[in-house]
Amino acid sequence: METPYNNLLIIYYSGTGNSKRVSEWIADEADKQGLKTYISSYHQFDPLSVAEFSGKTLIGFFSATHGFNMPHSMLKFLFRFEILKNSDVFIGNTRAGMKLWKLFMPGLSGIAMYFPALIMFFKGYKIRAMYPVDLPSNWISLHPGVQKKIAVSMVGHCEKLTRNFAIKVLSGKRVFLRSFVLLPLDILVAPIAFGYYFVGRYILAKTFVANYNCNNCGLCIEQCPTKSIILSHNRPYWKFSCESCMKCMNYCPERAIETAHSMVFLLLFVLTVVINPYLSTKVTDFVAVAFRGSRIAFESFYFMVQWSVALLLFYLGYKLLHLLMRFPLINRLITYTSLTTWKFWRRYKIPRKASVSDK
Ligand SMILES: Cc1cc2nc3c(=O)[nH]c(=O)nc-3n(C[C@H](O)[C@H](O)[C@H](O)COP(=O)(O)O)c2cc1C
Ligand code: SF4
Ligand code: SF4
């Protein structure tokens, strides 16, 4: 098929390789059509690398979905993106698909494509396509990793669909159908996207710990795209800027990174059973005096107070846990009460080849 484009630039955000692999499939189709192609992760992108592009360029932004939205650092990257103005753009996202028996089920994007598409539209780029790809979920803090056989089958299925998409978009066609199929559900979960963006992701950042298997190799610190792990008291410590992309947890050669589930449950219990009811009465009293009982004032003020208190609690709780993890007994207790430590709770990174025999 004839292509109106001379160049393809793809920038991706990928923790465990899904979005990177999808970007590579599209770049491969562009290569076959003789386009000058450049592909990079958002955090390593150098605008000078596309300085030699001449003629018409198609730009693709492909990202994992986090909390029904595009991850914060990728959104920040889009806000700052200024080069190749007026180019055609497509927005893609990979999300948590499933395979039930022989049926491939979709994940849910929420605003993960619409919002970035709006940003780029208002910046003067022309939106040619939005495309979701339903690969295995990598959210290992929440559920076990999918079995290898299922992952391989899902990857093979998605590769076929994505290559077809690539051929269409590279031929200059507009492709939007798949992105709008779940629109009613996407709208329904949009408020959760805001909750995740302003609260959830900060709390999740404070749930990772390195257990006694950690040998301080430094790989997680070196590889984190957001530079969110530091060495504190001689062990990895996660900062609020961590976006839970799951790279460190899935790539640690010692399988030493866990989600401290027992700490999370304890802190959530304290928050919901002790702190929040207490705050509710105090805030009601305060709002009754300061804002004459206005409902909107109560809701906004209460949200701000709850948000600050929850973050402070997780910050202090996590800091304390970090110090206590020095003691072997506590370290083992936290490890054994973390679901991620058990064998059945697999890790996930995209299989290297769509073949069951692949390691
Ligand atoms: C913190 C977090 C939040 C996620 N939120 C969603 C979501 O809202 N909807 C969805 O379909 N998948 C969600 N996922 C699944 C990932 O988007 C999906 O597995 C993606 O393909 C991972 O891509 P990557 O390997 O390129 O990082 C989430 C994963 C993580 C780790
Ligand atoms: S990659 Fe694993 S073993 Fe290496 S420093 Fe990080 S947690 Fe420790
Ligand atoms: S600390 Fe780990 S999960 Fe968080 S952003 Fe870095 S690599 Fe991803």
Please write the tens of the pLDDT for every residue from 74-92. Answer: 999 999 999 999 999 999 9
What's the 29 CA to ligand 3 centre distance in angstroms? 31
Ligand 3 atom having least distance to the Cα of 245: 8
Residues 6+ apart with CB under 8 A from 23: 10, 12, 14, 39, 60, 62
Ligand 2 atom having least distance to the Cα of 213: 3
What's the 181 CA to ligand 2 centre distance in angstroms? 41
Ligand nearest to the CA of 251: 2
Residue 14 one-letter amino acid = S
CATH class in words for 7-190: alpha beta
Residues 6+ apart with CB under 8 A from 77: 11, 13, 42, 45
Residue 118 one-letter amino acid = L
Residue 258: which of 141, 111, 148 has the closest Cα?
141
85-112: b (≥16 Cβ within 10 Å) or e: eebbbbbbbbbbbebeeeeeebbbbbbb
Residue 3 one-letter amino acid = T
Residue 41 one-letter amino acid = S
pLDDT for 290 equals 77
Ligand nearest to the CA of 243: 3
Give the Cα separation of 29 and 47 in Å (integer): 23
Ligand nearest to the CA of 133: 1
Place of tokens 């055609």: 88
Residue 70: CB atoms within 10 Å: 30
Distance of CA 112 to the CA centre of its chain: 10
Give the Cα separation of 155 and 351 in Å (integer): 8
Q: Which of 66, 162, 226 to mutate to test the pocket of ligand 1 (most atoms within 8 A of CB)?
A: 66
What's the 137 CA to ligand 1 centre distance in angstroms? 6
With residue 28 as reference, give the H or E element that holds it: helix 18-32
Higher-confidence residue: 106 or 288? Answer: 106
User: So where are the chain's domains?
Assistant: 7-190, 261-337
259 Cβ inside 6 Å of ligand 1: no
Token duo for residue 236: 């990895």
Assign 257 a pLDDT band (cuts: 50, 70, 90).
Answer: very high
Give percent of the chain with pLDDT exceeding 90. 87
pLDDT for 62 equals 98
Assign 331 a pLDDT band (cuts: 50, 70, 90).
Answer: very high
Helical spans, DSSP H, in 43-182: 72-80, 114-122, 148-170, 177-180
Whether 105 and 134 have beta carbons less than 8 Å apart is answered as yes
Indicate whether 31 pLDDT > 80.
yes
What's the 208 CA to ligand 3 centre distance in angstroms? 9
Ligand 1 atom having least distance to the Cα of 17: 25
Summary mean pLDDT of the chain: 94
Assign 175 a pLDDT band (cuts: 50, 70, 90).
Answer: very high
pLDDT for 296 equals 81
217 Cβ inside 6 Å of ligand 2: yes
Query: How crowded is the C-beta side of 302, counted as CA atoms within 13 Å?
Result: 20
Rg, C-alpha atoms of the chain: 22
- Mean pLDDT calculated for residue range 137-159: 96
Place of tokens 């360029």: 57
Q: Which of 238, 239, 340 to mutate to test the pocket of ligand 3 (most atoms within 8 A of CB)?
A: 238
What's the 136 CA to ligand 1 centre distance in angstroms? 9
User: What single DSSP character describes residue 68?
Assistant: T
- Mean pLDDT calculated for residue range 183-192: 96
